[in-house]
Chain A
Amino acid sequence: MPEQLIFAMEVFLNGLMAGVLYALVALGFVLIFKASGIFNFAQGVMALFAALTLVGIMNGQVPFAHIINATFGTDLHYFGWTVPGLLAILLTMGMMVLLAWCVQRFVFRHLVGQEPIILFMATIGLAYFLEGVGDLMWGSDIKTLDVGLPQGINETIDEVTFGWFGYGFFIDNLDLVATLVAAILVTGLVLFAQYTKQGRAMRAVADDHQAALSVGVSLNFIWILVWSLAGFVALVAGIMWGAKSGVQFSLSLIALKALPVLMLGGFTSIPGAIVGGLIIGVGEKLFEFALGPALGGATENWFAYVLALIFLVFRPQGLFGEKIIERV
């Protein structure tokens, strides 16, 4: 096999892995958008906030230490204990549910029936608010997140591919775990939506609010549920991304990458979010590999947006999205 093709295959696989993370963030968007028509700009910040909270809890960091110290003249930073990963994840999940409740109770409950653009603006506000709170609570320094996920090159793949091609592929164990976790997460979500009472109610709300009310579904409850699920997906994305590149505020920028993913996959389709994420992941890696050198590199910064733009022109509803019909 020609050397270039083998390299391209490796790039392809690594692109898939990167795409999984895009897909996870996009999934959070889709969940909320389907059920409430809210385009949640804060989804990326939610992933950041979840990761910050997780690290903070694990390291026994004192929340709002900066404010406390400034007010009381104390010098608190850490409680002096550490919390095991799994417990910390559960506590963080509790925090995300609380956040979901607050978002619904204090923001969107007061905006029911408003124009989509107003709801969208509210999520922009939420994004900045949450970023600020995250900073105040846990500080803005870059933190490492280690919940015990395997990292580094996967030896087996390296050896097997070396046996086949005479060239060992570099696939990160963390990426493999991320893929596995994402697959389980998506399967779980689909089963939940398909077979549980709350899942049915969720689909009902996504389809028609008035009809959902008439069959006894509380919109408020479903919206809190959906924001909690989105919080859960954000937590998973935050863990993966944080373990890979450290927990830092640029994490919230992945929200922007989710946008082209959604344009590709359609805003209302869970499979769309996944396939869209994978296409963008693979596309930008392969494009950089093939044409990056000729174009002066760093094509990953813009490739996704250009692809999305092309899609907007030819298929505005995305690959899997429903035909855009005005709802009456």
Chain B
Amino acid sequence: MLDQSEGYVTSDGRKIGGVVMEMKNITLRFGGVVAIKDISFDIREGEIRAIIGPNGAGKSSMLNVISGFYNPQEGEVWYRGSLRPPMKPYQVARQGIARTFQNIALFEGMTVLDNVMTGRLTKMNSGMFSQAIWKGRAEAEETENREKAERIIDFLEIQSIRKTPVARLPYGLKKRVELARALVSEPSLLLLDEPMAGMNVEEKEDMSRFILDVNDEFGTTIALIEHDMGVVMDLSDRVVVMDYGKKIGDGTPDEVRRNQDVIDAYLGVAHD
């Protein structure tokens, strides 16, 4: 078992810190459907944490609990050492938790750059009146936000489509723009719901590389959901496996791969 307070060093030599987010005995129901059944796990500073499981296992629900879109009936969410009260999604976002969606939620009517700029909303301090009065300060803030946005756009190699309306982009690029918008808020925890779903092999490789680079360069803690087992095994430091709302495995990719429950419930199904 991993030490709770300290952290660990990964096989490729990256240092993983203490627990940032801890889910304790989370249960989430929709009427009669139990989407999450008494699940506990943690996410550590600087790690890439994957959540996997068959369709309908409750993975997205779990991400929605973390990001405040769903409030669980039972259980506790601990963030940075304190118990988090039930929160609205926008409050969670303002705490530095950014996310993307399985079905992409972009501002279709805006350009790529405008979409990315909205990711800076949590960092904008000037209210409407101070913006009218302290024009200078508002302008300085705007310049800084603009620079940050451009830097992320460069980083994710989407410069060429900066001014393109998002509605006109192909699926793979939309996913990348959504990542850019999440990233530009400089989140301390980044949640990605199937960032590679619906992509071709080349796009998947690009996205994998970006996720690793983000983690590497910005030290961002990442929790992601992914179906492609190969990708998960390559990317993640630790994996939670869910099936029918229950946690059936938790550990390094190798540990999870050898776990008989996981093989039966998930890998077995996938390979049949």
Contact = CB atoms under 8 A, between A and B. Distances in A.
A215 B109 contact: no
Range of interface residues on B (Cβ < 8 Å): 20 to 34
A299 interface: no
Interface stretch (A86-94, A190-198, A280-288): A190-198
Nearest to B191: A214
Given A196-B131, A197-B127, A197-B128, A217 B105 contact: no
Contact of B107 (A192, A198, A207, A216): A207
B106 A214 contact: no
Given A200-B121, A210-B101, A215 B128 contact: no
A201 B94 CA distance: 14
Interface size class of A (residues with CB under 8 A): 20 to 34
B112 interface: no
A43 B105 CA distance: 31
A195 B185 CA distance: 18
Interface in A141-200: 192, 195-200
B106 A211 contact: yes
B117 A200 contact: yes
A210 B105 contact: yes
4 A-B pairs with least C-beta separation: A216-B93, A211-B105, A216-B122, A207-B107
B90 A218 contact: yes
B129 to A, nearest CB: 10
Q: Which of B88, B94, B98, B107 has the most CB of A within 10 A?
A: B107
A218 B98 CA distance: 15
A214 B93 contact: yes
Contacts of A200: 117-118, 121, 124
A216 B99 CA distance: 11
Interface of A: 192, 195-201, 203-204, 207-208, 210-219, 322
B119 interface: yes
14 contacts: A196-B128, A200-B118, A201-B121, A203-B107, A204-B107, A208-B106, A208-B107, A214-B67, A215-B93, A216-B93, A216-B122, A216-B185, A217-B121, A218-B90
A204 B98 CA distance: 16
Contacts of B181: 215
Which of B121, B124, B127 counts the most chain A CB atoms within 10 A?
B121
Nearest to B69: A213
B31 to A, nearest CB: 16
A61 B101 CA distance: 55
Given A213-B89, A213-B93, A217-B90, A197 B107 contact: no
A214 B118 CA distance: 10
Nearest to A328: B103
A198 B121 CA distance: 9
Contact of B121 (A197, A207, A208): A197
A198 B132 CA distance: 12
A103 B265 CA distance: 51
Contacts of B93: 213-216
Contacts of B90: 213, 216-219
Contacts of B121: 197, 200-201, 204, 215-217
A328 B228 CA distance: 26
A160 B109 CA distance: 46
B138 to A, nearest CB: 8
B229 interface: no
Given A196-B128, A200-B117, A215 B101 contact: no
Given A197-B128, A198-B128, A214 B108 contact: no
Contacts of A216: 90, 93-94, 121-122, 185
A207 B110 contact: yes
Contacts of A218: 88, 90
Contacts of A214: 67, 89, 93, 98-99, 101, 105, 182
Contacts of B118: 200-201, 204, 211-212, 215
Interface string B177-189: 0000110010000
Given A204-B107, A207-B107, A207-B109, A192 B117 contact: no
A208 B106 CA distance: 7
Contacts of A207: 107-110
B126 interface: yes
A9 B109 CA distance: 39
A207 B20 CA distance: 32
B106 A215 contact: no
A283 B76 CA distance: 63
A328 to B, nearest CB: 8
